């Protein structure tokens, strides 16, 4: 029996058999060529095929998992379509009369060295994306295009072991046979973890070197919640694991029973449990009977894969359809939240070294009134058909909020002039996802109907941590006391002004934090659809009053480990 420890990426239990994914080594030895132009033609042909394949992967990821996963392939496509980058490769082929594979490898290596020497963590992490693109273009050039990493493995209970899995690898995996994932590299926000959570399977990442200890077909027990993998377990280990798995199965049955019921704490505090939506599949599968509404409806998917801005009518039909499906339950539509990290050709957005701090979201909308008002008019019109609300993202000061509301009034005047029906009293809220919005929340609350805390970005901006950078993963922590205190401040300021508060990041469904959200009086939690039942169940086990008495002590602690220990202890007391 061998035990492997890693980071707890995605919780869950899986018993199955190992399949080791070893990436094919693509030769890049230097070779002299006779016809540089023919070599360049072959390179361009391979690059074109690869770009087309990325487009298909992006559409599949968008359809199956939403914009966050699709954006990864859009970023890859941007790199693969970068003529400046590949022009230098072609120049090397011409001047040195060398084969394209070697020229790509030289350019990749040079770029990696440059990025490693920079202080900018975002640019450093782009190194991995560039490496993956170069490797896959080279594979396409040599006729060794990527395929399902587990296609040749037998069995239907496979747990894949790999050094790392690229976004393309994760999308190509046979989901029907995949039961879990274990990687030597990666952090808790890696593509592997994102996919595992969406599929509801365990993922253990960042184990360090371990592939030499794993053989295809090895019996595997994977516990994603503790980040533990057991190879070739003995009878006692297997029995203990199966007992945990059975207990988890019983718990899942309890969660399923709660899905269609209202969420109330033991002392009667109600919490709405909504779902996140914003892609074709989630719209098609949305069931208003199993949630309290849609707490975050992302609209970016309407703009992706288009040749021009989506029309008012096109958007209106989508929003109206969703409002009608919600059947009177709230539908919170976030206005366009796109930026330099998601490039759309027709939007002509600037390429930025750090797009998360750049021209994005409300900043784009305020600078392009026609784009903004087209969307606002569509949302206003859809408001006639249900309980629709508007939410502005990335607000960092009062001036931005007032400008956005002014644009909303302009959209109303346009509809009045056209004599088109719309909801005149549509509720307006904002995303609270930056320290600036937190510190101004007492002022901002006087101008909105609700706040929605975007905890993913709030953690990132508060801790100055790129959540996709493995080297600073230890700082990206949902239990960071600065973040938790920030959320307490937002709740206090909101409630003092009669404004409701929701949370729509991943922390909304994090079990150990749900009792804390109840204590702080969070009114709404917006979660991934599969997590509605679990979230409601945990709310039902909590006493808000009892948690309030413990919260101040917890938030007074200066120690993240102490806070985690206290929160885990509370969860244990609740039988979880």
CA-CA-CA-CA torsion for 470, 299, 325, 508, nearest 10 degrees?
30
| Domain end residue (candidates: 398, 426, 454) | 426
Q: Return the higher-pLDDT residue of 180 and 285.
A: 180
Residue 488 sits at φ, ψ, to 5 deg, of -60, -45
What pLDDT band is residue 116 in, cutting at 50, 70 and 90? Answer: low
Residue 433, marked binder = yes
Do 388 and 468 share a domain, yes or no?
Answer: no
Write down the residue that tokens 């892609």 correspond to: 279
- Let me know: does 344 contact 338? Beta carbons within 8 Å: yes
Average pLDDT over every residue of 353-381:
91
**Token pair of 31, please?**
């070779």
Domain boundary among 142, 166, 196: 142
- Binned at pLDDT 50, 70 and 90, residue 380 comes out as very high
Return d(Cα 84, Cα 34) in angstroms, integer. Answer: 25
**404 and 292, same domain (yes or no):** yes
Judge if 531 and 512 occupy the same domain. Answer: yes
Residue 97 has φ and ψ, to the nearest 5°, of 55, 55
* Catalytic-role residue among 65, 134, 191, 291: 191
Question: 504 an active-site residue?
Answer: yes
Partners of residue 452 on adjacent β-strands: 431, 502
Lowest mean pLDDT among 430-439, 468-477, 544-553: 468-477
- Write the pLDDT tens digit of every residue in 41-59: 999 999 999 888 888 877 7
What are the pLDDT digits (tens) for 206-263? 999 999 999 999 999 999 989 999 999 999 989 999 898 888 888 889 999 999 999 9
| CATH number where 513 lies | 3.20.20.60
Question: Residue 169: what pLDDT?
Answer: 78
Alpha helices in 273-351 (DSSP H): 280-285, 312-326
Q: Is residue 133 a part of any domain in this protein?
A: yes
Is there a single domain that holds both residue 565 and residue 421? no
Q: Is the pLDDT of residue 467 over 90?
A: no
Do 10 and 196 contact (CB within 8 A), yes or no? yes
Query: What pLDDT is stored for residue 360 in this prediction?
Result: 86
What's the pLDDT score for residue 247?
85
The pLDDT assigned to 117 comes to 61
Pick the closest to residue 31 from 146, 114, 142, 132 (CA basis).
Answer: 142
> What CATH number does residue 19 fall under?
3.50.30.10
Contact 401, 366 (CB under 8 A): no
Is 214 part of any domain? yes
Q: Average pLDDT, stretch 316-321?
A: 96
What pLDDT score was predicted for residue 145?
A: 64
**Is 67 a domain residue?**
yes
Rounded Cα gap, residues 226 and 234, in angstroms: 19
User: What pLDDT is recorded for position 92?
Assistant: 93
Q: What is the DSSP letter of 15?
A: E
> What confidence score (pLDDT) does residue 67 get?
59
Question: 492 labelled as ligand-binding?
Answer: no
Is 17 annotated in the active site? Answer: no
The pLDDT value given to residue 340: 47
Q: Within this chain, do residues 353 and 453 fall inside the same structural domain, yes or no?
A: no
Give me the catalytic one of 134, 258, 479, 504.
Answer: 504
pLDDT of 25 > 60? The answer is: yes
Q: Mean pLDDT across the stretch 273-294?
A: 88
Q: Which of 263, 222, 280, 220 minimizes the C-alpha distance to 526? A: 263
What is the model's pLDDT at position 436? 97
- Name the more confident of 67 and 320: 320
Average pLDDT value for the chain? 89
Q: Are residues 131 and 159 in the same domain?
A: no
- Residue 243, domain member (yes or no): no
CATH number for the domain including 85? Answer: 1.10.274.10
Structure confidence at residue 65 (pLDDT): 60
Same domain, 422 and 282: yes
Statement: residue 312 has pLDDT above 90: yes
Q: Which of 105-119, 187-201, 415-429, 554-568 has the highest mean pLDDT?
A: 415-429
* pLDDT (tens digit per residue) in 131-153: 888 988 998 898 876 666 677 77
Whether 33 contacts 98, CB under 8 Å: yes
Strand-by-strand arrangement of the 203-205 sheet: 2-5, 228-231, 219-223, 13-21, 158-162, 178-183, 203-205, 7-10
Q: Within this chain, do residues 380 and 457 fall inside the same structural domain, yes or no?
A: no
Does 264 appear as a known binding residue? no
What is the rounded average pLDDT of the residues 384-392? 98
Rounded Cα gap, residues 556 and 222, in angstroms: 36
Establish whether 290 is an annotated binding residue. Answer: no
State whether residue 181 is helix, strand or coil.
Answer: strand
What domain range is 201 assigned to?
A: 2-23+148-233
**Which pLDDT does position 122 carry in this prediction?**
45
Q: What is the pLDDT of residue 147?
A: 63
Closest to 513 in 3D by CA, of 575, 567, 433? 567
- Mean pLDDT value of segment 299-324: 90
User: Is 246 contained in some domain?
Assistant: no
Residue 437 pLDDT grade (very low, low, confident, very high; cuts 50, 70, 90): very high
Q: What pLDDT does 543 receive? A: 96
Residue 365: the pLDDT is 95
pLDDT in tens, 61-78: 766 666 556 767 777 888
Please, what is the end-to-end C-alpha distance for the chain in angstroms?
Answer: 28
Q: Which two tokens stand for residue 497?
A: 């002004």
**Which domain-ending residue is among 117, 142, 167?**
142
Alpha-carbon gap, residue 287 to 508, rounded angstroms? 20
Quick one: average pLDDT of 425-441? 97
CA distance linking residue 400 with residue 428, whole number of Å: 14
Has 480 been labeled as part of a binding site?
no
Same-domain check for residues 295 and 222: no
What is the distance between the alpha carbons of residues 450 and 128, in angstroms, rounded to a whole number?
39
pLDDT over 60 (residue 454) = yes
Closest residue by Cα to residue 43 from 83, 95, 1: 83
**Is the pLDDT confidence value at 167 over 50?**
yes
Whether residue 125 is predicted with pLDDT greater than 70 in this model: the reply is no
CA angle 490, 272, 454 (to 5 degrees): 40
Q: Give the per-residue pLDDT at 121.
A: 44
Instruction: Give the residue among 469, 476, 486, 558 at the shortest CA–CA distance from 520.
Output: 486
The count of domains in the chain is: 4
Q: Are 56 and 15 within one domain?
A: no
Report yes or no on whether pTM surpasses 0.85.
no
* Residue 450 included in any domain: yes
Q: Are residues 257 and 350 located together in one domain of the fold?
A: no
Q: Does 234 show up as a binding residue in the annotation?
A: no
Task: Compute φ and ψ for 156, nearest 5 degrees.
Answer: -125, 20
User: Within this chain, do residues 384 and 321 fall inside the same structural domain, yes or no?
Assistant: yes
């Amino acid at each position: 029996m061998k035990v492997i420890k890693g980071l707890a990426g995605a919780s869950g239990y899986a018993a199955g058999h190992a399949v080791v994914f070893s990436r094919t080594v693509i030769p890049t030895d230097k070779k002299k060529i006779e016809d540089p132009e023919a070599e360049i033609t072959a390179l361009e042909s391979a690059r074109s095929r690869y770009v087309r394949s990325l487009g298909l992967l992006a559409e599949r990821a968008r359809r199956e998992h939403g914009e966050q996963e699709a954006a990864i392939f859009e970023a890859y496509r941007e790199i693969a379509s970068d003529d400046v980058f590949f022009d230098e490769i072609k120049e090397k082929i011409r001047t040195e009369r060398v084969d394209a594979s070697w020229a790509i490898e030289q350019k990749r290596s040079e770029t990696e060295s440059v990025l490693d020497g920079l202080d900018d963590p975002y640019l450093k992490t782009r190194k991995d994306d560039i490496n993956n693109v170069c490797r896959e273009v080279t594979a396409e050039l040599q006729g060794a295009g990527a395929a399902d990493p587990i296609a040749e493995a037998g069995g239907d209970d496979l747990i894949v072991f790999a050094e790392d899995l690229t976004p393309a690898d994760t999308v190509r995996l046979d989901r029907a046979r995949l039961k879990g994932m274990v990687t030597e590299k990666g952090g808790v926000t890696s593509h592997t973890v994102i996919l595992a959570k969406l599929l509801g399977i365990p993922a253990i990442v960042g184990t360090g070197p371990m592939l030499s200890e794993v053989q295809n077909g090895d019996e595997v027990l994977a516990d994603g919640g503790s980040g533990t993998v057991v190879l070739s377990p003995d009878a006692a280990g297997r029995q203990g694991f199966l007992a945990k798995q059975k207990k988890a199965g019983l718990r899942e049955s309890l969660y399923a029973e709660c899905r269609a019921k209202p969420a109330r704490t033991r002392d009667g505090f109600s919490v709405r449990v909504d779902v996140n939506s914003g892609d074709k599949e989630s719209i098609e599968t949305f069931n208003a009977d199993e949630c309290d509404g849609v707490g975050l409806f992302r609209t970016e998917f309407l703009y992706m894969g288009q040749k021009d801005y989506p029309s008012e009518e096109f958007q209106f039909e989508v929003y109206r359809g969703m409002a009608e499906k919600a059947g009177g339950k709230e539908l919170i539509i976030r206005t366009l939240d796109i930026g330099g990290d998601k490039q759309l050709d027709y939007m002509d957005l600037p390429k930025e070294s750090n797009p998360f701090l750049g021209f994005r979201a409300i900043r784009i909308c305020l600078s392009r009134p026609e784009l903004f008002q087209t969307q606002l008019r569509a949302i206003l019109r859809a408001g006639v058909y249900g309980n629709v609300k508007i939410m502005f993202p990335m607000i960092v000061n009062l001036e931005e909020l007032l400008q956005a509301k002014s644009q909303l009034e302009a959209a109303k005047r346009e509809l009045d002039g056209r004599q088109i029906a719309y909801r005149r009293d549509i509720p307006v809220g904002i995303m609270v996802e930056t320290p600036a919005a937190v510190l101004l929340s007492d002022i901002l609350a006087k101008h909105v109907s609700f706040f929605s805390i975007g905890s993913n970005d709030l953690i990132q901006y508060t801790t100055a941590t790129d959540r996709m950078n493995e080297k600073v993963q230890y700082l990206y922590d949902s239990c960071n006391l600065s973040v938790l205190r920030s959320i307490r401040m937002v709740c206090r300021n909101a409630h003092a002004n009669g404004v409701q508060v929701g949370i729509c990041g991943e922390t909304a469904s994090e079990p150990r934090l749900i009792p804390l959200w109840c204590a702080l009086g969070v009114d709404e939690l917006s979660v991934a659809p599969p997590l509605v039942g679990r979230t409601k169940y945990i709310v039902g086990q909590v006493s808000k009053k009892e948690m309030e008495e413990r919260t101040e002590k917890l938030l007074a602690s200066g120690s993240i480990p102490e806070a985690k220990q206290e929160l885990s202890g509370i969860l244990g007391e609740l039988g979880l």
